Amino acid sequence: MDTSEYNFKILQLLSDESTYKKVKTDPTTNTLKSTSDLIKKHSEKLNLDVNSLIPSCTKPPRLYGLPKIHKPNAPLRPIVSQIDSPTYKLAQRLAKVLLPLRGHTRAHTKDSYHFVSEIKDLHLADNETMVSFDVQSLFTCLPIEDCISIVTRKLEYNNMLAEYAVLLKHCLTSGYLLWKEEFYKQVDGVAMGSPVSPIVADIFTEDFEEKALLTAPVNPRFYKRKHLAAELQHVKQVLQDNKLRVPRLRHSDRVKPATVERVPAVLPYVRGVTDKVDYILKRASIKTYYKKPKKISQFLPSVKCNIPLQDAGVYKLDCECGLSYIGQTKRSIETRVKEHIADVKHRRSGKSAVCEHVQDRPHHYISFDKPQILAKEHRFLPRMIREAIEIKKHPNFNREDGWVLPPAWDPIINKIKPKPKHTTARLHDTISSFCVNRTKN
C-alpha cells in the first residue's frame, strides 16, 4: 500500500463525523490537569498512589492504521497508541480492578483450547446451522452511559467502591488522537487504545448477550464467544509496532563456540527447524550463527506521528565554542529546554549551568533550537547512568559529573567517545526559542 492510498484511507476513517470531530488545540494539557485532579480527589478512599498514576511526561495518543490484507480492498484497522497519554497509567490501574468482573457468563471462552474442547463432541442435526457473528468497530459503537451503568451495577454487586466508575468514565470519555499534526476528539464510544477499553467492551458484550439469549424466541443449543486468539495477536502486533519487547519462548540465537576453528555458518532462524539443525551441526563441531529473518515492517516507513521532544530522556545542548551541556529529565525534553531558555532570559545563573555559561561567555551562542536527544528513557536509574556516560563522552560545561560510575567503565567509555566535530545523536524537531543578546554582560 503506497503512502497516498494509506493517507486517503485514514482520512476516510476520520471523516466519520459521528465518531470523530476535529479540534483546534491540543487537549493534552487540559486532559492531564483533569486526570490529576480526579486522582488526587479519590486517592485516599481508593488507596491510589498519586505519584505512579500521574505521568510526568505526556504525549497525545497517536493514530495509525494496519491493513486487513485478508479482506477485499485491504481496509485499515485503526489503532491508537495511548502510551504516555494523560490517562494511560490510570486506565492500566482500572483494568486490573475491573478484570475480575468479566468472564462469568456461560458463553465465556478462556482460550482456543477451551473452545475446541467445548465443540469437539458437538454434532449438528440436519436442521441446525453453525454461524458466527462479527462486531464491526466495537469500541466506537459502545454506548458510554450504558457501559458505565453496567460496570457500576457490577461494582455494587461485588461490594466494590463506586468511585471507580467515576474514574472509568473519565478514561472512556477522554478519547482524542493526533494525526498529521491535527487533533481529533472521539465523539462516541470508548477510548480506542486505552488499556481499560477491552475490559469494558467484554463486560458490556457479556451483559448484552445474556439479555439477548434470555429473550430470544429460539434459544440456541450451544453458544460461545471466542475472541481471545485474535485479541492476543492484535496485542502482540501493537506491542511490536510500539517497539516493546515481546517475550521469546524457549529459543535463543546464541550458540556456544566450537572447539575446532571452522568457517562459521550463518543460517536464518526458523522456529522448529533451527533447533534440530543446530543439534546435528554441534555434533560435527560446526560453529553456527543464526539471524532473525527480516520482517516486512523493516522495509516500510513508520506510519505513526513522530514527536521525539515529548519524551523523557537524556539530551545535549551544543555551544558554538565546542562544549555542550548534557542533561536528563523525567518530563518532556521540550519542557526542560524551555526552562533552560527561561533561566537564561531571567539570568538565573545559580539555578542553571547553561545560564552561567552564557553569562560568563556573552559572545557564545547555544543552539536552543536544535536540542539533540541522546537517549529516550523513562526509568530513573537507567536515565541517570546514561547521563553520566554521555557526560564522560562529550566535552561539556556541566557543573557535576552526574551518577558515580565504576572506574572500570572508563576504558570502554573512552573507546566509544565520538570523534571531534561529529556526534552520534540525531537532530530532532526544533522548538520555540529566542535570540540571546551577545552584547550584554
What is the model's pLDDT at position 228?
46
Architecture of domain 308-427: 3-Layer(aba) Sandwich (3.40)
Out of 14-18, 161-165, 278-282, 323-327, which region has the weakest mean confidence (pLDDT)? 278-282
What is the model's pLDDT at position 305?
64
- Average of pLDDT values for 141-148? 88
Beta strand 288-291 pairing with 265-268: parallel
Q: Are 225 and 202 in contact (CB under 8 A)?
A: no
What is the model's pLDDT at position 242?
61
Structure-model confidence comparison of residues 382 and 283, the more confident one: 382
What is the model's pLDDT at position 244?
60
- pLDDT surpassing 60 at residue 426: no
- pLDDT surpassing 70 at residue 308: no
pLDDT per position as a tens digit, 171-206: 998 889 999 889 999 888 888 888 999 899 889 988
- pLDDT surpassing 50 at residue 298: yes
DSSP string, 178-231: EETTEEEEE-SSSPTT-TTHHHHHHHHHHHHHHHHHHH-SS--S---B--HHHH
- pLDDT surpassing 60 at residue 439: no
Q: How many CB atoms lie within 10 A of CB 348?
A: 16
Tell me the pLDDT band of 27, cut-offs 50, 70 and 90: very high
Give the separation between CA 319 and CA 340, rounded to whole angstroms.
13
Q: Are 151 and 203 in contact (CB under 8 A)?
A: yes
| Three-point CA angle 305, 311, 317, nearest 5° | 110
Q: What percent of the chain has pLDDT over 70?
A: 81
Across 319-381, where does the E strand assignment appear?
324-329, 372-376
What is the model's pLDDT at position 441?
44
Tell me the pLDDT band of 290, cut-offs 50, 70 and 90: confident
- pLDDT surpassing 90 at residue 39: yes
- Average of pLDDT values for 406-422? 82
Structure-model confidence comparison of residues 255 and 342, the more confident one: 342
| Three-point CA angle 406, 412, 418, nearest 5° | 120
Give the separation between CA 371 and CA 369, rounded to whole angstroms.
6
- pLDDT surpassing 90 at residue 432: no
What is the model's pLDDT at position 387?
94
What is the model's pLDDT at position 430?
43
pLDDT per position as a tens digit, 45-79: 898 888 889 888 888 999 988 888 877 888 888 88
Mean of per-residue pLDDT scores for the chain: 80
Tell me the pLDDT band of 435, cut-offs 50, 70 and 90: very low
What is the model's pLDDT at position 191?
85
pLDDT per position as a tens digit, 11-21: 988 888 888 89
pLDDT per position as a tens digit, 259-272: 445 566 777 888 77
What is the model's pLDDT at position 306?
64
What is the model's pLDDT at position 245?
61
- pLDDT surpassing 80 at residue 255: no
What is the model's pLDDT at position 233?
55
What is the model's pLDDT at position 299?
66
- Average of pLDDT values for 143-164? 89
Out of 184-188, 220-224, 406-410, 425-429, which region has the weakest mean confidence (pLDDT)? 425-429
Give the separation between CA 388 and CA 105, rounded to whole angstroms.
55
- pLDDT surpassing 90 at residue 424: no
Structure-model confidence comparison of residues 350 and 63, the more confident one: 63
Structure-model confidence comparison of residues 289 and 94, the more confident one: 94
Give the separation between CA 356 and CA 399, rounded to whole angstroms.
10
CB-neighbour burial class of residue 282 (10 A; exposed 0-12, middle 13-18, buried 19+) = middle
What is the model's pLDDT at position 251?
41
- Average of pLDDT values for 283-305? 71
Q: Are 13 and 65 in contact (CB under 8 A)?
A: yes
Could you tell me the residue ranges of all domains in the chain? 3-241, 254-291, 308-427
How many angstroms separate the first and last alpha carbons of the chain? 58
